[in-house]
Structure 1
Amino acid sequence: MSATGLNVFDKTVQTTNIWLNEIMADLGPDRQLAWHVLGVVLRALRDKLPAELAANLGAELPLLVRGAYYDQYQPSREPNSDRSVDAFLDSIAEELKFGRPVNTAGAAKAVLRALVHHIDLGQSAKVREALPKEIRALWPASVGT
């Protein structure tokens, strides 16, 4: 029997929980923190990408995660042009500062690892290559790294 009565909702909840479990494996067993980190890192990543590529990435995400990804999105804005990894991590840290302390680089890597594990390999490569070199260093070389 379906938990929600709609298979599409059940599937997105199940898939989202898989992503959250992978993030919690890195950050600890706090599902709320994992959800918050997932949204914050995905939005920081989205804001580094051209609108078309950001939309293509969004199409790869589970429905529930896609909602967090597009929260407050303004596609007419130019991608954030600061190319430093410090600025990227600072933008994440700013959004995470009201929760329990978390290693920002570790949080970014946990989300990127889950992303790479679950999206199309070609799309993953396109997103990675669109990022500044310094930020690409956070991107896992493969699913197992």
Structure 2
Amino acid sequence: MSDTGLDVFDKTLQKTHIWLDELMEERPGTSRQAAWHTLSATLRTLRDKLPADLAAHFAAQLPLLLRGAFYEQYDPSRQPLPLRSQEDFLHQVQSTPGMTEQVNAEAVTAVLRVVSRQVDPGLTDKLRQALSGETRSLWAA
């Protein structure tokens, strides 16, 4: 018996939990709620740094629930934002509406490692290359 009665909802919940579990393994002691906030805020900040077409390709590989978080408050006419430094990127993650957790470079790097494991490696390379050199250093190869 499914949890929601709809296979599409059950699948996206299951896949989203996999992402959250991986992030919690990367950052022991992190609660599921903190993992969700950090994951969704980092994904939105990454989205804002990407050209709209690359953001769409990335979103297509996200579980449906994460895709919704990714596109929340999205304004493609503003993309890509000029987040030139690692500090700018981290500040944007921290300033994401609804963000309740303190975020540091290690937390963002953990999210990006999960992304690297969960999406196509070729796309991961394109995402990494879309970032400035200093910000790209958050994305451990």
Shorter-chain TM-score above 0.5: yes
> What is the deviation of 1:29?
3.7
Show CA shifts across 1:53-102 (max 9, x none).
Answer: 011111110000001100000011131113111111111123389635x3
Instruction: Tell whether 2:114 aligns with 1:78.
Output: no
The question of whether the paired residues in 1 share the 8 Å contact of 2:24 and 2:31 is answered with yes
Please tell me whether the aligned partners of residues 49 and 79 of structure 1 are also in contact (alpha carbons under 8 angstroms): yes
Query: Which residue of 2 is the match for residue 121 of structure 1?
Result: 121
Equivalences for residues 42-121 of structure 1 within 5 A: 42-95=43-96, 99-100=100-101, 102-121=102-121
* Structure 2 residue ranges without an equivalent (≥5): none
Aligned partners of 1:98 and 1:82: how far apart in 2?
18
Rounded Cα–Cα distance in structure 2 between residues aligned with 1:15 and 1:109: 20
Query: Residue type of the partner of 2:33?
Result: Q
Unaligned runs of 5+ in 1: none
For the 8 Å contact 1:43–1:69, the answer to whether it is kept is yes
CA contact (8 A) 1:116 1:140 kept: no
* Pairwise CA distance, 1:49: 0.5
How big is the alpha-carbon RMSD for the aligned residues of Structure 1 and Structure 2? Answer: 1.7
Paired with 1:32 and 1:103, the residues of 2 have a C-alpha distance of 13
**1:140 maps to 2:140:** yes
Please report how far the alpha carbon of residue 106 of structure 1 lies from its aligned counterpart in structure 2 after TM superposition: 1.5
Q: C-alpha distance in 1, partners of 2:113/2:120?
A: 13
TM-score, scaled to structure 2: 0.91
Aligned equivalent of 1:20: 20
Provide closer, same or farther for how the CA distance between residues 133 and 124 of structure 1 changes in structure 2, counting only shifts above 3 A.
Answer: same
Normalising by structure 1, we get a TM-score of 0.89
Hey, which bits of structure 1, 4+ residues long, moved more than 2 A?
26-29, 93-100
Deviates most, 28-37 or 90-99: 90-99
Once the 2 structures are TM-superposed, how far is the Cα of residue 133 of structure 1 from its aligned partner?
1.0
